[in-house]
A and B are shown apart, each in its own frame.
With several copies, the nearest count.
Chain A
Amino acid sequence: MYNKKVMDHFMNPRNVGEIADPDGMGEVGNLKCGDIMRIYLRIDPTTDVIEDIKFKTFGCGSAVASSSIATEMIMGKTVEEALKLTNKDVLKELGGLPTIKVHCSVLAEQAFKAAAYDYATRHDKHYAALENYSPEEAEHDHHHDEDED
């Protein structure tokens, strides 16, 4: 079902856990849809570089793997750079997900956005990518394509 890279990230997820007193934190998803992801950020306020990132995920294999690889991709980038990452990048880095699971990769993108927004709000930072962002509307949007091929 999943390729080797996805399974590796699922079995050995990178950056699982929490950060005490994080500079930013975001959570998306809901119980109804069956996947929830929370991201914690530690950011250097002068350089804006993401020095540490941790996640917790409730969800299926691809939700966990997407979370894991996304944190790897985000770590060390500036917030600005990291905000450019989309679920397409996550998918590509994972080497693809089954069609019905593609929506899981959106979760990571959304969770990071929410955490970055939290950081921006608390530290009075402004990012072009977050200009029209509203945490309410950012509810992880599920568009399951049930076709199996």
Chain B
Amino acid sequence: MKTIYMDYSATTPMKPEVIEAVSDAFKHHYGNASSIHHIGQDAKVLLQQAREQVARLIGAEPREIFFTAGGTESDNWAIEIALETKPGKHIITTSVEHHAILHPLEALEKKGYRVTYLPVDEYGMVSPEQVAAAIEDDTILISVMYINNEIGSINPVEEIAEVAAQHGILFHTDGVQALGNIPIDMSANQISMMSMSAHKIYGPKGVGALYIRKGVRTVPLIYGGAQERKVRAGTENIPGIIGFAKAAELARENLTAHIERLSGLRDKLRDGIMNQIPQAKYNGHPTKRHPGNVHVCFKYIEGESLLLLLDMKGICASSGSACTSGSLDPSHVLMNIGLTHEIAHGSLRLTLGDFTTEDDVATVIEEIGPIVQRLREMSPLTE
């Protein structure tokens, strides 16, 4: 059975060019970039080139890119930077952030910090006005995600960054889902820090970066050696970073085509589902949206069952249903955009990517109807 992978927001397969770049580095560029011999110096040069590639994707300067082990570390680090460089006890974020932001902030609340979790609108978005109104005297950080990983809505982060800048407050955005999926130009905005992750843009897992604007004071989250201008210790994962750079290069070259093609497929998939299945709700913003994100809730059925039946047809998808996460409640995102439990439990996220074909979309549209139908027949809730 053919696998139809529609879970690109969870992780992406690596592109062949990326695999080749990493494998080549495995074989030929194994040096420690801190070593002064030729094997080490070779690694150091490649590290710098990689930094330039990643910087180019977001219109940053190379020295504003700090490599990490992924989006989660970058998020945690951004918070630590605010904590350790700014006096104050108040942080503003949204109620629909990824756990990589919410959980470290919850840990800080236990240590006496105050966190404002801004409520979101029906699309999961916040406005610059909301953010402005939440600022207090001792606000040290505003962190608002660029694109929501579940429902794909794009926040007005550039405007929010302006508000933050006017108040002299650090502004961080979790850009993990945005990178490579929308144009980002750091030279034209006032974002202080942005988290990135390679494995969401066809790069390797375990590699990410934090963009830190020139002039922002920095402290390490992970202390040790003098790598990354002394603020992120640990022998650099050169092959992984080279893979990230290759993925960034491809993302930059293909950005316009990528967005156009994916948006087309996305809308086709959305229409194919919504026109066919009654009692379904399409979530997330209709236009300000991740190009590959389709998110629907089907009444009367439960998400995990839906995923399992889709999987039996080879279709890989995801859900914000409670059962998939082992928690009682459906995802905080679905609850916070105001969905009832009834509808939130039946959530389905299909995320498309560069290997998704028209045929894949057609197959999913074909298969999903009978599956929803079957689960509804089994459900005691169906009216």
Contacts and interface: CB of A to CB of B under 8 A. Distances in A.
Contacts of B309: 11
B302 A60 contact: yes
B269 to A, nearest CB: 24
Contacts of A58: 300-302, 345, 378-381
Contacts of A11: 309, 312
A10 interface: yes
B356 interface: no
Given A33-B328, A34-B345, A61 B305 contact: yes
Interface of B: 36, 41, 44, 63, 226, 229-230, 300-305, 308-309, 312, 321-324, 326-330, 340-342, 345, 377-381
Contacts of B377: 16
A56 B378 contact: yes
Interface string A82-109: 0000000000000000001100000000
Given A11-B312, A32-B328, A56 B63 contact: no
A64 B305 contact: yes
B327 A146 contact: yes
A9 to B, nearest CB: 12
A149 B304 CA distance: 20
A13 interface: yes
Contacts of A37: 380
A16 B380 contact: no
Interface residues of A, number: 31
A144 B378 contact: no
Given A33-B328, A142-B328, A60 B229 contact: no
Nearest to B330: A34
A144 B300 contact: no
A10 B308 contact: yes
A146 B230 contact: yes
Given A10-B308, A60-B304, A34 B322 contact: yes
Interface string A123-139: 00000000000000000
Contacts, number: 87
Given A11-B312, A34-B328, 15 more contacts: A1-B36, A31-B340, A31-B342, A34-B323, A37-B380, A56-B379, A57-B378, A58-B302, A60-B305, A60-B324, A64-B378, A146-B230, A147-B229, A148-B226, A148-B229
Given A146-B327, A148-B226, A31 B380 contact: no
Given A10-B308, A34-B321, A37-B380, A59 B326 contact: no
A57 B323 CA distance: 14
Contacts of A146: 226, 230, 326-327
B377 to A, nearest CB: 8
9 contacts: A27-B380, A32-B341, A35-B323, A58-B300, A60-B302, A63-B305, A144-B326, A144-B327, A144-B328
B133 to A, nearest CB: 32
Contacts of B303: 60
B323 A60 contact: yes
A116 interface: no
A59 B323 CA distance: 8
A113 interface: no
A33 B302 CA distance: 11
Interface string A31-62: 11111111000000000000000001111110
A62 to B, nearest CB: 8
A14 to B, nearest CB: 12
A21 to B, nearest CB: 17
A9 B221 CA distance: 41
Contacts of A35: 302, 323
Contact of B321 (A32, A60, A64, A147): A60
A31 B379 contact: no
A42 B280 CA distance: 35
A63 B342 CA distance: 17
A32 B345 CA distance: 9
A56 B300 CA distance: 12
A33 B322 contact: yes
A16 to B, nearest CB: 5
Nearest to A30: B341
Contacts of A64: 305, 378
Q: Which of B36, B230, B302 has the most CB of A within 10 A?
A: B302
B302 A148 contact: no
Nearest to B41: A1
Contacts of A100: 326
Nearest to B375: A58
